Amino acid sequence: MSSLTPREIVSELDKYVIGQNEAKRMVAIAMRNRWRRQRLEPELREEIAPKNIIMMGPTGVGKTEIARRLAKLSKSPFHKVEATKFTEVGYVGRDVESMIRDLMEIGIAMVRAEEREKVRVRAEGAAEDRLLDLLLPGAAPASGGYSFTPRPDPAAPRLPPAQDTTREKFRQMWREGKLDDRYVELEVTTQGEGGMSIMAIPGMEDMGNQVQDMIGRMFPSRKKLRKMKIKDAFDTLVQEESDKLIDMDKVQDIARERVEQTGIIFLDEIDKIASRQDHGGPDVSREGVQRDLLPVVEGCVVNTKYGMIRTDHILFIAAGAFHYSKPSDLIPELQGRFPLRVELSALGQEEFYRILTEPQNALTVQYSALLGTEGLTLSFTDDSLREIAATAQKINEETENIGARRLYTIMEKLLSELSFEASDKGGQQVVVDGEYVRSQLSAIVENRDLSRYIL
């Protein structure tokens, strides 16, 4: 579990998200509280539930971004899901418990990747040996198995037998990349009847999975010879070898612990399921979804492929624009499960300018790097960035406010000509200045109908 202090968490988030300080502070506290909880006597620890958060704010102001970055920072399994996707139990659609199953899948994948990384060197050694067996059939090493053989010690006095010398020559060639264009035939395992899949019944994905598992067991996995590039074969072999080396039971245990103690579920569009009863009709089932959510948020046990998962300490961050509804429109029980509320503010010209310049992964950096691969050096004057920010603000006001996403459409349009021509402009230096921005965009900005479609 990450031991960053709230101040450190906020300053890490500052690297990617501009403004929204209140929201950052709130998620930082939620994060730190988990760490604090871990330090308590088991008895009290069990009592302390996470303080779930509702983020309110217009579209494109960083709600999802903050949650995602937070999860990455704390290495927490993170799952984003739209509240509107669920339906009440008994109706066609996904049931709310599926989000815990999905979170567990994410946790498993995360831990498996870490465990694979730990055994990578050994797995690569074993994979290399198997690759050589494929290249030199019948010349398998005396030991026969695919066990890891240490890299040959160049200073070893012993002269290897003839067969081994060929093998070592191939090994050398492979390591130097001289065999990369060769193809080999590799036996790969396919599940069931040649990858037969069950037709997806809408809303029954989970049942589909179970049925598929069952059928998979009925038709044992088959081996199939496949021709592939030597590099791909190596990657496949490394996967196979590392799976042999890692202990799946251990992976499951670690993943379960991590999901239960540090998992984060981002429940988007919560405002869409919060509406007053007076409209009648479909709202009945919306309220049903809220009722179904209650136990999951409050803490229950969900049955997954990897065993039972307790949801008591999973952190829920709900988000929504709340244009047409308020948190108080949620059913009372659910309101109580989300005690922390924070409002994110709309973004303006000044924030747009900072978003273009400050984050490590700022759009300007991304475009310069992309075109840099063509040998074109792209840079932006301060003047141009101010102009882009002002344009974003203007279009947001005049058409629809889509927040920072406006910068994406503007940048794409602004650089479309350059992006097309960059391949012929290797070695050149292009400086985007205010004049260039105006010349590329003015015609569209002036024409409101046009900007509705293009920017």
Residue 149, interface with Mg ion (CB under 5 A)?
no
CB atoms within 10 A of CB 237: 23
Integer Cα distance of 399 and 453 in angstroms: 10
Q: Candidates 33, 64, 335, 399: give the one binding ligand ATP (CB under 6 A).
A: 64
Give least dist CB 158 to ligand ATP, A: 59
- Candidate residues 2, 21, 33, 64; the one interacting with Mg ion per rule CB under 5 A: 64
Residue 18 interface partner, choices Mg ion, ligand ATP, none, CB cut-off 5-8 Å depending on type: ligand ATP
Which window, 57-65, 226-234, 252-260, 433-441, contacts ligand ATP (CB under 6 A)? Answer: 57-65
Which candidate, 160, 120, 68, places its Cα nearest to that of 242? Answer: 120
φ, ψ of residue 275 in degrees (nearest 5)? -145, 155
290: buried, middle or exposed (CB in 10 Å: 19+, 13-18, 0-12)?
buried
Pick what 21 binds: Mg ion, ligand ATP, none; C-beta below 5 to 8 Å, kind-dependent. Answer: none
Q: How far apart are the C-alpha atoms of 279 and 287, rounded to whole Å?
A: 12
- Residue 20 interacting entry, from ligand ATP, Mg ion, none, C-beta within 5 to 8 Å by type: ligand ATP
Tell me whether residue 174 or residue 316 sits nearer to ligand ATP (CB atom). 316
Query: Taking a C-beta distance cutoff of 8 angstroms, is the pair 171, 230 a contact?
Result: no
Considering the complex, state which of residue 88 and residue 358 has its C-beta at the smaller distance from ligand ATP: 358
Contact status: 355 vs ligand ATP (CB under 6 A)? yes
| Sign of the CA dihedral running 200, 206, 208, 212 | positive
Q: Which residues pair with 187 in a beta bridge?
A: 225
Q: How many positions of this chain bind ligand ATP (CB under 6 A)?
A: 18
The smaller minimum CB distance to Mg ion, of residues 302 and 342, is found at: 342
Choices 72-80, 135-143, 145-153, 402-410 (CB under 6 A): range interacting with ligand ATP: 402-410
Question: Smallest distance, Å, CB 20 to ligand ATP?
Answer: 5
Place of tokens 């994060």: 31
Tokens of 329: 């429109």
Which residue, among 276, 283, 274, has the nearest Cα to 334 in the 3D structure? Answer: 274
For residues 223 and 225, give the distance between their C-alpha atoms in angstroms, rounded to a whole number: 7
Selected binder of ligand ATP within 251, 302, 404, 445 (CB under 6 A)? 404
Q: What distance in Å separates the CA atoms of residue 256 and residue 250, rounded to the nearest whole number? A: 10
Cα separation, 392 vs 455, in Å, equals: 9
CB within 8 A of 133, min separation 6: which ones?
139, 140, 146
Q: Which stretch binds Mg ion (CB under 5 A): 60-68, 145-153, 329-337, 414-422?
A: 60-68
Distance from C-alpha of 256 to C-alpha of 434, rounded to nearest angstrom? 53
| 190 contacts Mg ion (rule: CB under 5 A) | no
- Of 40-48, 63-71, 176-184, 440-448, which segment contacts ligand ATP by CB under 6 A? 63-71
- CB closer to ligand ATP out of 355 and 378: 355
In the complex, the smallest distance separating the C-beta of residue 81 from Mg ion, rounded to whole angstroms, is 11
Given ligand ATP, Mg ion, none, residue 107, with its beta carbon under 5 to 8 Å by kind, binds none
From the list ligand ATP, Mg ion, none, which binds 50 (C-beta under 5 to 8 Å, kind-based)?
Answer: none
What is the closest distance, in whole angstroms, from the C-beta atom of residue 60 to ligand ATP in the complex? 5
Beta bridge partners of 267: 81, 318
Q: Which of 382, 396, 385, 391 is nearest to 441 (CA)?
A: 391
Give 59 or 285: the residue with its C-beta nearer to Mg ion: 59
Q: Which is nearer to ligand ATP, 298 or 329 (CB)?
A: 329
Closest CB to ligand ATP among residues 46, 343: 343
CA distance 320 to 329: 13
The DSSP 8-state label assigned to residue 405 in this structure reads H
20 sits near ligand ATP (criterion: CB under 6 A): yes
Residue 270 interacts with ligand ATP (CB under 6 A): yes or no: no
| Footprint of ligand ATP (CB under 6 A) | 17-20, 57, 59-65, 321, 355, 359, 403-405
